[in-house]
Amino acid sequence: MKLAHRVLQYRVADPVRLVAVGDFHIGSSTFHRRRFLKFMETHAAYPYTHFIIMGDVFDALVVNDSKRFRLSSIDRRYFQAANPDQFLDMQIEDGVELLKPYADRILGILRGNHEDQILKRYNTDMTWQLCDKLGNPDLDLGYSSLVYLSLRQERSENMASLRGKSRALRLYLHHGFGGGSRTEGGAITTYSRFLMYYDADIYLVAHSHQLWSKKIARIGIDKHGQWQDKPVILANTGTFKKALREGSPPTWEETMGFSPHLIGGTVVEVKMNRDNTYPSLQVSDV
């Protein structure tokens, strides 16, 4: 696990948007490149938007992975390269090209099970290389991470109206685990256990390629003896890998009986208010 601290600027009138996306599987013939490009462009147009990359950026399947590897799973454009044997290197360069326009708005990049298998078997850290080539090795958040967000009001605003206070949010990020759940309920049950062990306001997971979010009520009492409503968010951040493709060779998902997935990611809007130091949290699947 890695620990990280990030400082973000905000304005009261504009929510801070945390856009969590993962499981791109760049290098796969089923990576939905067009939808990914449109998604990133659309959300980057909003002010105060920051991206969290949830792992499995790369497909990173090699011949020794006898259960999942097949030639039809490799992006066809890689076969047109001068040396197709370098398809892992090409995946890294591909990822850099896709994420470079948003590098200064990325809060961190998790490694997924696909990158971890390459690191374990071949001592090649694709996630670290991606972060390094994006110009900031500190973006590497490991397989799981606790992130402390300091939200500070822009100096151009009237600081007296909020008494000069900054806000704080804690994120728990984990790529995910298990062989994949065929039902949303099973995944929610599995990942909700994180709430017992890690202190956070927002819990984000990936891996199962499911896209869902849940706002969980958490009631307490403040120092004035009043009700305190501090809900937390649990979300599975989806995928940009299609479960099916046209043709005879089946995808891994098809052979395993997984259902088609929604393509997209999760957006958490953090809206400041003048009456309470705890921000309002809203989550949506997009």
Q: Check whether 163 has a pLDDT greater than 70.
A: no
For residue 132, what pLDDT band results from cuts at 50, 70 and 90? Answer: very high
Residue of higher predicted confidence among 268 and 219: 268
Residues 78, 84 contacting (CB under 8 angstroms)? yes
Please report the pLDDT score of residue 12 as a whole number.
Answer: 85
Return the pLDDT at 106. 98
Task: Please report which confidence band the pLDDT of residue 104 belongs to, taking 50, 70 and 90 as the band edges.
Answer: very high
Mean pLDDT of the region 233-239: 96
Give the integer Cα–Cα distance in Å for 182 and 280: 32
Which residue would you say has higher pLDDT here, 261 or 206? 206
Output the pTM of the full model. Answer: 0.92
3-state secondary structure 53-69: ECCCCECCCCCCCCCCC
Domain borders along the chain are 2-285
pLDDT at 64 exceeding the cut of 90: no
Work out the average pLDDT over 85-100: 96
Segment 183-212 shows an average pLDDT of: 88
CA 193 to each of CA 173, 186, 197, 228: distance values in angstroms, whole numbers, following the listed order? 13, 12, 7, 23
d(CA 169, CA 147): 8
pLDDT given for residue 233 in this prediction = 96
Average pLDDT on 234-260 reads 88
* CATH 3.30.310 describes domain 2-285: no
Q: What is the pLDDT of residue 25?
A: 97
Split at pLDDT 50, 70, 90, the class of 228 is: confident
Average pLDDT over residues 187-206: 92
